[in-house]
Amino acid sequence: MARKRKQPVAVITGRVVHHFWLNLNKDVENKLDVAVRELKKQRLFAETIRDGLRLILDLRAGSLDVLFELFPDLKERMSVQRVDSPSPNIRELEEKIEQLTQVVLGGQGGGIVFKSNPPAVSKAAAPVAEVKAAAVMSADDIADNFLAMFQ
């Protein structure tokens, strides 16, 4: 008589358990094991795993939403570029960029003519390989030549 299969637990309770292995011979995984034990003592293990999986999947999808949700201070640090006192070179470059922007967007050339005439490129001929016949040498000559290197 065939055994009747029980319904999976997830269907009844809506909860599932996933297991994974750590190889304690690997330093990284050994450190993870220590962290897992500490998280379990603090009753934060399941929450940390869920947050970690959400973060990895979100980052792989090219989004930073979960990262900023978990670490709101990172969003502020990444969005604000603080420059207390820009160097004179930066100020000078900013002024020149502003001038160029005005010229390009405003159409005011002020006597400046923009033109693009790249130099003509001549096509070089393809290289030709020459095969020259080598002089015929006897085995004794080759051996003498070889031994001469060590004298």
Domain ranges of the chain: 23-79
Q: Global pTM? A: 0.46
What pLDDT, in 10s, does the model give residues 73-108? 888 887 765 555 556 678 788 888 888 877 777 665
Q: Which phi-psi region, left, alpha or beta, contains residue 128 (left: φ > 0; alpha: ψ -120 to 50)?
A: beta
Rounded Cα distance, 104 and 92, in Å: 18
Long-range residue pairs from 85-88, CB within 8 A, at least 24 positions apart, any chain: none
Tokens of 139: 């085995």
What pLDDT, in 10s, does the model give residues 34-86? 999 999 999 999 999 999 999 999 999 999 899 999 998 888 887 765 555 55
